[in-house]
Structure 1
């Protein structure tokens, strides 16, 4: 979602800048050479079409509803895309300590990869859940228990305000040991 906002924000800004530039160009053209106006936007024909509309017109209400819906979608997108911090235990009441889910995933991944039987691992962390996917050359069941124990031990050492659920899956890969 944050990626979508990072793409959407410059595009909306660019669109507003183009509209603003078109207004400036049309205004200057009308002041300097009224006979050659309009230059880009056919505003005289638009003005005659809009003159007959009132606030009770269906077109005006439809446009207002459409703008409102798009505005609500952008607002919801912004609220959903906010940063979801992982809260740590506060050392004192006046201080709030947080970390990012990426940092938590990095710490868990480092701990999992340090296990001697783990060949590779990927970790995804959110505020509510940590998902560990590891590969091993040994039987997956024994390594899964050891990896889960390591992750639980690490989460016990971290001063997390709320402990996330942990899901560990281990697959056995073929290879020379």
Structure 2
């Protein structure tokens, strides 16, 4: 959502800037040539059409509903794009401590990759869940149960050591490496 908001904000800014430039052009044109019909926008024709509309006409209702829906969508996007910090326990009640999910993911990833069983790992984290996708070598019986248990144990130990206000759920998936150890 934040990427959408970062894309949408400059586009809306450019659209408003373009409307402002057109408005300035039209005002200057009206000052220079008072009897003109507008340089870019046909104001007199628009005024004639709009003077015949009432608030109960269908085009007015459709435009107002469209504007309301777009406004609500923009509001929803802005609300969903907020930061999703991971809360930590504060040393005093007057203090609030938090970290970003990326920092937690980096910390868990570094811990998981330090294991000899793990060849590579990808970690994503949020305040609710830590998802680890690890690659390693299979056990002698061909299963990955030992690797999964090792990774889950390391992540669980790390999360126990961190001063997290709420412990996230751990999800571990493993797959095998093709090359030899």
Q: TM-score range by the shorter chain?
A: over 0.9
Q: Which residue of 1 aligns with 2:159?
A: 155
Distance 2:114 2:43 in 1: 68
Secondary structure at 1:95's aligned position in 2? coil
CA contact (8 A) 1:26 1:37 kept: no
CA contact (8 A) 2:104 2:125 kept: yes
Aligned CA-pair RMSD: 1.0
Structure 1: give runs of 5+ residues left out of the alignment. none
Give the TM-score, by structure 1 length: 0.97
Give the distance between the partners of 2:122 and 2:5, measured in 1 at CA. Answer: 26
Partner of 1:34: helix, strand, or coil? Answer: coil
Alignment length, in residue pairs? 177
Runs of 4+ in structure 1 off by over 3 angstroms are: none
Question: Over residues 53-88 of structure 1, what are the superposed CA-to-partner deviations in whole Å (9 max), with x where a residue is unaligned?
Answer: 112222112111111110000000111111111000
1:36 deviates by 4.3
Of 152, 170, 174 in structure 2, the residue corresponding to residue 170 of structure 1 is 174
Question: 2:68 matched to 1:68?
Answer: yes
In the aligned structure 2, how far is the partner of 1:50 from the partner of 1:127? Answer: 52
- SS of equivalent to 1:145: helix
Aligned partners of 1:29 and 1:37 also within 8 Å: no
Contact kept? 2:37, 2:44, Cα under 8 Å: no
2:44 counterpart residue number: 44
Q: 1:61 and 1:36 mapped to 2: Cα distance? A: 31
Answer whether contact 1:117 1:136 (CA < 8 A) is retained.
yes
Runs of at least 5 residues in structure 2 that lack an aligned partner in the other structure? none
Q: 1:115 corresponds to which residue? A: 115
Contact 2:37 2:43 in 1 (8 A): no
